[in-house]
Amino acid sequence: MNSDISNLIRIEVTTARESYPIYIGRQLQSSLGDEIAALRSQGSRLAVITDANVRNAVPDYFKETFDGIPAIEVPAGETSKSLAEFGRALDFFASNGLDRGGVAIAFGGGVVGDLTGFAAASWLRGIRFIQVPTTLLSMVDSSVGGKTGINIASGKNLVGAFHQPISVYEDLDLLASLPPREFAAGMAEVIKYGMLGDPVLFEMLEAEPLLDSRDERLAGVVKRNCQTKADVVNADEKEQAQAGGRALLNLGHTFGHAIENVAGYGEYLHGEAVSVGFVAAANLSQKIGYVQAGEVERITNVLIAHGLPVRLKTALRTEDLLSAMMKDKKVRAGMLRFVVLRRIGEAITEDGVDLELVSSIWGEVGAVD
């Protein structure tokens, strides 16, 4: 299979310390193969981390691209972002002799990317890695920007590191193997970018939902999202801005991460949990005097049109959700920081939100006392 160079999109992510490309297109297999061949010719040892679901979904792609490279499979799903699988990954690197010139390759969705990136950041105090995202969610969000990590019992992504990949290959043909539920979960992050900074994108999705990986608009939408995230990361790589900055990318996530934690990791796909979180964030934005009820309704309708949940699937206790929120990594000086909408297409960070108000918001999306 040859790369379709004529349709190849390249975006450059430039941080204070490094720069790397994101390639977006179809039939990128030989481009990735060329980079792998170049690394091998330089004497680099390579290792692939994937999961069984991904490997079974695209067996020919996997065999042709990673032939002769040691590979390890982790269980599919959020539970693989664990200390146990992190330890397995490190032992895998050790058993295959990865030295400081070694390169890890993440071939999978956000879970595989986060785990591989954190293992690469930790092994020998940091080796290189390549992201090959296979889900829409990981293409538009988690594979870009260098956030890596795992979950512990106290909360999601509480253990991790900022570690940028050396390249990202986003082959849209890989999305053809995604179940509809997984594609919809990825669209949640696409919709997020429209809500927080791209009203034209939001209006396009509002007028005509994007429901299939064969949609000719997909490459442009993925490019738009990746460029937005790259710009944000370039300006605030480690989320240190006092207001706004990279924190804006957490729209809906303070609510969504609490849902994942309380419901149990794996009960909701990440995009499903943050979809409910978007509705909660929109309701919060209305309650504190920003967006109007009509804008909350528009957000809710776009999510529904893309097959995403807007309420909890089963009732969760408000007290448990609030407790999970207070363990979120975005808590500063004991206070939660929320991302709220001034309007569709403009988001800001808001500190000091009254917890009684947050409790009432949880009730509006199906939590119980």
Q: What are the respective helix, strand and coil percentages of the chain, to the nearest 5? A: 50, 20, 30
Helix (H) or strand (E) holding 73, with range, is strand 71-74
Is 287 among the catalytic positions?
no
Q: With contact defined as beta carbons under 8 Å apart, do 248 and 34 qualify? A: no
Is 224 among the catalytic positions?
no
Is 163 among the catalytic positions?
no
57 lies in the same domain as 154 = yes
295 lies in the same domain as 184 = yes
The one catalytic residue among 78, 239, 272, 295: 239
What was the pLDDT predicted at 302? 98
What was the pLDDT predicted at 2? 44
Is 223 among the catalytic positions?
no
173 lies in the same domain as 300 = no
105 lies in the same domain as 210 = no
User: Per-residue pLDDT tens for 23-80?
Assistant: 999 999 999 999 999 999 999 999 999 998 999 999 999 999 999 999 999 999 999 9
Give the pLDDT band (50/70/90) at residue 335: confident
226 within some domain: no
Burial class (CB in 10 A: 0-12, 13-18, 19+), 192: buried
Is 239 among the catalytic positions?
yes
369 within some domain: no
79 lies in the same domain as 196 = no
Q: Strands 71-74, 46-51: parallel, antiparallel or unpaired by DSSP? A: parallel
Structural domain count, the chain: 2
198 lies in the same domain as 288 = yes
- Candidates 160, 100, 173; CA nearest to 132 is 173
227 within some domain: no
325 within some domain: yes
The one catalytic residue among 156, 253, 287, 337: 253
User: Per-residue pLDDT tens for 150-182?
Assistant: 999 888 899 999 999 999 999 999 999 899 999
Pairwise CA distance, residues 134 & 55, whole Å = 10
Is 257 among the catalytic positions?
yes
16 lies in the same domain as 105 = yes
User: Per-residue pLDDT tens for 77-134?
Assistant: 999 999 999 999 999 999 999 999 999 999 999 999 999 999 999 999 999 999 999 9
**pLDDT above 60: residue 6:** no
Is 85 among the catalytic positions?
no
Is 253 among the catalytic positions?
yes
What's the CATH code of the domain at 318? 1.20.1090.10
What's the CATH code of the domain at 13? 3.40.50.1970
189 within some domain: yes
The one catalytic residue among 229, 287, 298, 337: 229
For residue 325, report the phi and psi dihedrals to the nearest 5 degrees: -60, -40
188 lies in the same domain as 80 = no
244 lies in the same domain as 323 = yes
140 within some domain: yes
Instruction: Give the structural domain span for 349.
Output: 180-220+239-364
**pLDDT above 90: residue 245:** no
Boundary of a domain, candidates 144, 159, 177: 177
What was the pLDDT predicted at 239? 74
106 lies in the same domain as 204 = no
Pairwise CA distance, residues 301 & 304, whole Å = 5
43 lies in the same domain as 106 = yes
21 lies in the same domain as 37 = yes
231 within some domain: no
- Candidates 38, 103, 46, 42; CA nearest to 71 is 46
pLDDT-above-70 percentage for the chain: 96
90 within some domain: yes
